[in-house]
Structure 1
Amino acid sequence: MTNHKPDMLFGKANDISRALDETVVKTRQLNDDLRSRRLGGTIVITAGIGALGPSAIKDIISAITAFDAFTPENDPYGEHDCAVMTVNEIKIVWKIDYYDLTRRYHSSDPSDRNVTSRVMTIMRADEY
């Protein structure tokens, strides 16, 4: 019979859990920086959003900037990377994706700004 020390087993699991939590916290902060301060990435609007005109675009950007209604239901991974909203009776979707610095592949680590290019896409829900 192998004699395991339960503290060591649980300690390793807790270390992994802590590392994952730190990764999520870093990713969330970088996403919030892009969403609320327009820092650390690129924001793209679709043709449907562009067609709404400058005033509507300003209202949509302002609403996304102020958005803080993240819940386990709409943000299950805690990364603040996506939402569906209604702004001036227009249903929109915004989503942050993580690419490598060439924007050719997915990022190997979304929590590391040195290897990740963030792109937030804002679209009308009917364009999705």
Structure 2
Amino acid sequence: MNQDEHTAAIAVLNDACRAEPGAGWTLTPGVQALSKSGLAQAVAAVTDFSDFSESNNPHGERDFGTFEVGGARLFWKIDYYDLDLCMASPDPADPAVTKRVLTLMLAEEY
């Protein structure tokens, strides 16, 4: 697999991770403290996110985004771990050796 194919495979897996709220998602305390409506809006903003640009997606992996909900700025970020969640994945393009963790946070929690 060449570098472009490798990056494209990672991006597809990241899109799938974003589309599945719950499993593999971590919500910071600030996000958990949002109103029920605010939390629903934040989750929908992540699952629907498509505003990728050179500034938030310089490597083409679609692993980061930022948006606003109710005047609050939020970030989401996908990190790649080994299956035991102990260290970095040896190959983020291979779901057989990678667990993705999407963290949704308020900007001030970064």
Question: What range describes the TM-score normalised by the shorter chain of this pair?
Answer: over 0.9
Residue 25 of structure 2 aligns to a residue in which SS? Answer: strand
Q: Let me know the Cα RMSD of the aligned residues.
A: 1.3
Higher share of residues assigned helix:
1
Percentage identity across paired residues of the two chains: 39
Where structure 1 has 5 or more consecutive residues not aligned to the other structure, the ranges are: 1-17
How many residues of Structure 1 are paired with residues of Structure 2 in the alignment? Answer: 109
Q: Please tell me whether residue 26 in structure 1 is matched to residue 25 in structure 2.
A: no
TM-score, L = length of structure 2: 0.94
State the distance in 2 between where 1:74 and 1:46 align: 21
2:26 to 44, 56, 75: 44
Q: In the alignment, residue 99 of structure 2 is paired with which amino acid? A: S
Between Structure 1 and Structure 2, whose CA radius of gyration is higher? 1
Where structure 2 has 5 or more consecutive residues not aligned to the other structure, the ranges are: none
Runs of 4+ in 1 over 6 A off after TM superposition: none
Deviations 1:28-79 (CA, angstroms, capped at 9, x unpaired):
00000011x217x500100000011321111001011111010112100000
State the distance in 2 between where 1:127 and 1:54 align: 19
Q: Please tell me whether residue 74 in structure 1 is matched to residue 74 in structure 2.
A: no
